[in-house]
A and B are shown apart, each in its own frame.
Chain A
């Protein structure tokens, strides 16, 4: 458990599922925040009233709502539950920020602390490229109209007296999509957002929330719809006991079938290798992968120049969706993975009806009372091949495509490059690739360090 925000989120989710399973959610949902923060209990924020308010917003997001909606404060959770029950709408965006949860952290800036000795050498003054630091009354002082927050002064101070305060969400966002609005609270600009989930993972107040489809999944199962789970390859590293037991556990909740997304990855590999060969034979210089949705969105919104190089082969999730539709034309399909961006891709995929995270899956199993380790092995009709299961790791896609290429196309040379983790410099780097200024003819890009296994909603990192 890496932090308290994560623990509380999971405890709440497990409780939400348990109440649903017991048929008591309608009756109890308004009381959950009070049950978790009863009178006189210790609070995580300033007081239990603030805690309860944030718990309410979090429960709203578990029902799929935007907790920034007007009027949500006076409307009881039972009202939202009724709406979720009758409308069955998909959320319009995968993420939302709770203003009540957001601390409105101070603006990022360079601060001189009382450790400053006003020394004689004053390397801070000399290293500053903007002449923004002066020393007054034996204490360094920053002129914020000049400071560009480059941090050179931090590195040279012999007393570690200068610090840079950060806004964790803004600092984590690789594309400047999350910013303080007029009230000082964080807000996401969805024209820029690439759904990488880094703000969600980094906010120490847990104010960035996923708009979940967990409730939709559970109610369709309860209402007797046939629901099929499509499980991302990274699951093999995420749950105890291996995927055979995990798949049986998923079926125990009431899913009609469980399908490996790695089977879709086999098709992605085959077709992406073909596409790569065709492109090279046509004289094209570079093709990039397209399985990482955050990367595809990064190109679409921030590095258009590279658009023509992005593979047009569908992602493993989309292929798995097709396989599931073929096998069970009457069923609803649920993608389950460690990813927030896939939620967005799922909104646009006709064969994926809902998406869930590993964290939600774990909470669903826990709340349902299903012990994964004591499940029997799932009778897998045909296990996916190892290279397809390996898609979840950085370089896994390249390995799979390379393996596919070997043999028939020995005259072609694969010169593969990787971007393992998107950060603020990646968009610039991609523009250089588009101009042909960087070497390589096959570029694999993964938004999360280490690949999907390092995803924002993974359980083990």
Chain B
């Protein structure tokens, strides 16, 4: 069994208002082959929204790596680079 990917979604109020609420539905959108390979966590404010150098809210962290301007689409793309299995039709 390989290690699971840790997907942390910032649910600080600003991230939540600007898209994290929708990102929290990501588990329902993952292809079946990925479902037991990703652990999704809602986490409190990472205090990144006040910085201007790393993109804009909402933020996620994928195995420790921060990603700004996160959408379902961009998170899927980032996961696909880490997961060798081809997702079926999403």
B42 to chain A, nearest CB (A): 6
Contact A2 B17 (CB under 8 A): no
Contact B13 A366 (CB under 8 A): yes
Q: Number of residues in A with C-beta < 8 Å to the partner?
A: 22
> Can you name the residue of chain B whose Cβ is closest to the Cβ of A359?
B17
**Given known A1-B22, A241-B11, A459-B21, contact A374–B44 (CB-CB < 8 A):** yes
22 contacts between A and B (CB under 8 A): A1-B19, A7-B18, A10-B18, A11-B18, A14-B14, A239-B16, A240-B11, A240-B20, A240-B42, A362-B13, A362-B16, A365-B13, A370-B13, A371-B12, A371-B13, A373-B44, A373-B45, A374-B44, A374-B45, A459-B16, A459-B17, A459-B21
Contacts of A370 in B (CB 8 A): 13
Complex formed: what's the CA distance from A11 to B19 in Å?
A: 11
Contact B17 A10 (CB under 8 A): yes
Bitwise, A1-30 to B at CB < 8 A (1) or not (0) is 110000100110010000000000000000
6 nearest interchain CB pairs?
Answer: A1-B19, A240-B11, A371-B45, A373-B44, A366-B13, A366-B14
Interface residues of A in 318-375 (CB under 8 A from B): 359, 362-363, 365-366, 370-374
Contacts of A7 in B (CB 8 A): 18-19
Complex formed: what's the CA distance from A14 to B17 in Å?
A: 9
What size tier do the contact residues of chain B reach?
A: 10 to 19
B86 to chain A, nearest CB (A): 28
Contact A366 B17 (CB under 8 A): yes
Binding site for A on B (CB under 8 A): 11-14, 16-22, 24, 42-45, 58, 71
Asked whether A460 is an interface residue with its Cβ less than 8 Å from the other chain, the reply is: yes
Binding site for B on A (CB under 8 A): 1-2, 7, 10-11, 14, 239-241, 249, 359, 362-363, 365-366, 370-374, 459-460
Contact A371 B44 (CB under 8 A): yes
A52 to chain B, nearest CB (A): 20
Contacts of B14 in A (CB 8 A): 14, 366
> Can you name the residue of chain A whose Cβ is closest to the Cβ of B24?
A240
Contact A373 B18 (CB under 8 A): no
Question: Residue among B16, B17, B20 with the most chain A CB within 10 A?
Answer: B17
> Can you name the residue of chain A whose Cβ is closest to the Cβ of B45?
A371
A234 to chain B, nearest CB (A): 14
Contacts of A372 in B (CB 8 A): 11, 13, 16
A16 to chain B, nearest CB (A): 13
Contacts of A460 in B (CB 8 A): 21-22
A113 to chain B, nearest CB (A): 29
Complex formed: what's the CA distance from A7 to B18 in Å?
A: 6
> Can you name the residue of chain A whose Cβ is closest to the Cβ of B16?
A240
B69 to chain A, nearest CB (A): 10
Which one of B17, B43, B58 contacts A362 once the chains associate, using CB atoms below 8 Å?
B17
Contact B18 A1 (CB under 8 A): yes
20 further A-B pairs in the complex, CB-CB below 8 A; given A241-B42, A362-B16:
A1-B18, A1-B19, A1-B71, A7-B18, A11-B18, A14-B14, A239-B16, A240-B11, A240-B20, A240-B21, A363-B17, A366-B13, A366-B17, A371-B45, A372-B11, A373-B42, A373-B44, A373-B45, A374-B44, A460-B21
> Can you name the residue of chain B whose Cβ is closest to the Cβ of A365?
B13
Complex formed: what's the CA distance from A362 to B13 in Å?
A: 7
Contacts of A1 in B (CB 8 A): 18-19, 22, 58, 71
A144 to chain B, nearest CB (A): 41
Complex formed: what's the CA distance from A362 to B24 in Å?
A: 16
> Can you name the residue of chain B whose Cβ is closest to the Cβ of A374?
B44
Contacts of B17 in A (CB 8 A): 10, 14, 359, 362-363, 366, 459
B27 to chain A, nearest CB (A): 14
A367 to chain B, nearest CB (A): 8
Complex formed: what's the CA distance from A370 to B12 in Å?
A: 8
Contacts of B20 in A (CB 8 A): 240
**Given known A10-B17, A363-B17, contact A373–B11 (CB-CB < 8 A):** yes
